[in-house]
Amino acid sequence: MTDAALAPPPPVSGEVAVQITGMNKWYGQFHVLRDIDLTVTKGERIVICGPSGSGKSTLIRCINRLEEHQSGQIVVDGTELTSNLKNVDKVRSEVGMVFQHFNLFPHLTVLENCTLAPIWVRKVPKREAEETAMHFLHKVRIPEQAHKYPGQLSGGQQQRVAIARSLCMRPKIMLFDEPTSALDPEMIKEVLDTMIELARDGMTMLCVTHEMGFAQAVANRVIFMDQGQIVEQNTPREFFNNPRSERSKLFLSQILGH
Amino acid sequence: MTIAAEPPRRAFRPSQLINDSRYRGLTIQVVALLLLAGLIAYLGHNLVVNLRALGKDFDFGFLGNRAGYDIGQTLISYTNNDTHARAALVGMLNTLLVAALGCVTATVIGVLAGVLRLSKNWLIGRLMTVYVELFRNVPLLLWIVLVHAVLSNATPIPAEFRGEGATASMVFGVIAFTAQGTFIPWPVWGEGAELLTVVLLLSILAALVWRSYARRRQMATGRPLPVLWVALAILVLPTVLAFLLLGRPVTFDVPTMRETGIARFNGGVNILNSLVALWFALALYTGAFIAEIVRGGILAVSRGQSEAAFALGLRPGRTMRLVILPQALRVIVPPLISQYLNLTKNTSLAVAVGYADLRATLGGVTMNQTGRELESILLLGLFYLVVSLVISGAMNVYNRRIALKER
């Protein structure tokens, strides 16, 4: 076995969606992300896993600059993320994000949650924004909840609204930060089904999750991180059946062991 | 089909009044009510007996008598020949004036200081911290006296405005800050002034119409229209034009220094230093508390909310206005009501600088002259109670409107 075995599988298509080279990030003295190199091509579905505190969430939060990196380069859809606010705005309107705790706006109805950004960022007419919102609420199968408030919905429904809210901005890339970790077991499936459907439609996705069933079903690459580094990346089949590094073997035995 | 027999009922026993959870609460309430009624009856009887022993009766007739004293600052016409009731009304209006000025100013100061204290700018953040800690940790009475002392001692006396060798001058030639108060110009309504008022009201209406049109248009086409500048133009231009076309119907009575005799200003309106001192001290003091309430309200909205808004591409300013503040208001409004009530009741500290509020007229001179302590204090308490209840009632209606809907 050489390092060649740890190399990523060939990309799906040629076009690059996200290009990260030599990226480092510190929280004060703490080195959270070390020398991250990652190329995501359009249409790829990537699952990022690893023990807690390994920097998975921080990595995807750097992609829409909810976190700033200190060195290296991140290019998203041809735009480099720097302190230039115009670039940040551009990237954020192209990249959707779904959070662990949904973060829906509790003072707005489901429909208003979905139309807020299209109206104020994309300057879409309200009628049109509402039509788009209803389209995506149909897609996540909760159009009948459009006029309720987030507090009136179950966790699974809220997360599906959050996915619809992101899709209303017609993003090119979707980031998922542990989207099912805060859900009751019976609600995880409805959210995963929605995500699988999204993957089938060809969305570029980066997903931090421990749902290995989801990884095997839709991911074309699994990235394993530990202590701020990308330790291993491979196809799901290879990664689960034949993990290369000791750390990923240990991790897999822990999460699959029971 | 059989119907289940009712559980056997046991006869009521008096011991249940104490031991049974169904009756004990009721017992306690009845006993407490009886004790309270007894206490009130005892105090009332005591009062009647003591008043009789002093040879006093309980009568509000004194309010119709001639007051016989002057009041420095009045919002309505008043002379010392008017009744005590009129003097009380003057005091009431003065109290309401300083309370209203104070609440509005304190809110503006508080919201600004609260938001700025969260600023990432080190200097601004620290300055606001110093302001908040300085003002809310020193008694209000000290601030009132201090502001009044500064206003009265640091400003020139009217004589210094006079003659060739004047050492003081009026700001823009129309406003004079003096140890006796601030003299400002006052509008005088001439011929055609009514028309000007109509024009002004119409342009306010037009500005509001423009705002709602701009909003509807943005919803229809997605394109935002400039609201602030157009609204300002609609507000200002027609009024100025009408003012000139109507031949300047409103003139200003500018305060001027008398040429001869005792040095004093004629014309204009004198805003007493006591009012300004009370107003500023109340606003700065209460503003410090409101700043903390606003800061707490903004911090109470979880970080995830702004992160979600940022992730959708909303800029920080829009995020604050559309996402954070609407949620923060729910946390801010209830304690804000308390601050308004505090400020309103704290206006009674006017006694320190001799501002003629209700406590100074009805609860001061009138009470001392007529000896009607009981009646005066009762009326005074009733007034503050009613004002406070009206404020909290109105604010609670607002609070219910912005409440969050769950389930």
Q: In chain B, which residues have their Cβ closer than 8 Å to the Cβ of A151? A: 404-407
Measured at the alpha carbon of residue A201, what is the angle toward residues A197 and A203, in degrees to the nearest 5?
A: 100
| Residue B42's pLDDT band (cuts 50, 70, 90) | very high
Mean pLDDT of chain B: 88
How does the average pLDDT of chain A come out, rounded?
Answer: 89
Residues in chain A within 8 Å Cβ distance of B311: 64, 66, 92, 95-97, 99, 166
Write the pLDDT tens digit of every residue in A176-195: 999 999 898 888 999 999 99
Model pTM score: 0.79
pLDDT of residue A2 exceeding 60, the answer is: no
Answer whether residue B392 shows pLDDT above 70: yes
pLDDT band at B406 (very low <50, low <70, confident <90, very high): low
In the predicted structure, residue A5 carries a pLDDT above the cut 90 = no
Residue B109 in this model has a pLDDT that exceeds 70: yes
Confidence label for A3 from pLDDT (cuts 50, 70 and 90):
very low
Contact B324, B318 (CB under 8 A): no
| pLDDT over 50 (residue B16) | yes
Tokens 């987030």 correspond to what residue? A150
- Whether B219 sits inside 8 A of A117 (CB atoms) is no
pLDDT tens across B113-143, in order?
Answer: 998 998 888 999 999 999 999 999 999 999 9
Chain A contact for B401 (CB, 8 A cutoff): no
Q: Residue B187 — pLDDT band, cuts 50, 70, 90?
A: confident
* DSSP of B33-78: HHHHHHHHHHHHHHHHHHHHHHT-----GGGGSB-----S--SS--
> Is the pLDDT score of B5 beyond 70?
no
User: Are the beta carbons of A92 and B322 separated by less than 8 Å?
Assistant: no
B317 CB near a chain A CB, below 8 Å? Answer: no
The mean per-residue pLDDT over the stretch B261-278 comes to 85
Residue-wise pLDDT for B137-173, tens only, equals 999 999 999 999 998 888 888 888 877 777 777 877 7
Q: Kindly state the average pLDDT of the residues B293-318.
A: 93
The confidence score (pLDDT) of residue A4 equals 40
What pLDDT was estimated at residue B221?
81
Question: Average of pLDDT values for B61-86?
Answer: 89
Flag if A152 and B222 touch (Cβ within 8 Å): no
pLDDT tens digits, residue range A50-62?
Answer: 998 899 999 999 9
Interval B210-241: pLDDT, tens:
888 888 888 888 777 788 888 888 888 888 88
Contacting residues of B for A97, CB less than 8 Å apart: 308, 311
The answer to whether residue B31 scores a pLDDT higher than 80 is yes
Dist. CA A232–CA A245, nearest whole Å: 7
Task: Give me the residue from A104, A123, A166 closest to B222, CB to CB.
Answer: A123
Q: Is the pLDDT of residue A256 over 90?
A: no
Looking at per-residue confidence, does A7 or B313 come out higher? Answer: B313
Q: pLDDT tens, A82-114?
A: 888 899 999 999 999 999 999 999 999 999 999
Q: Name every chain A residue with its beta carbon within 8 A of the beta carbon of B330.
A: 107
Phi/psi for B167 (5° steps) reads: -95, -10
Q: Give A64→chain B minimum CA distance, Å.
A: 7
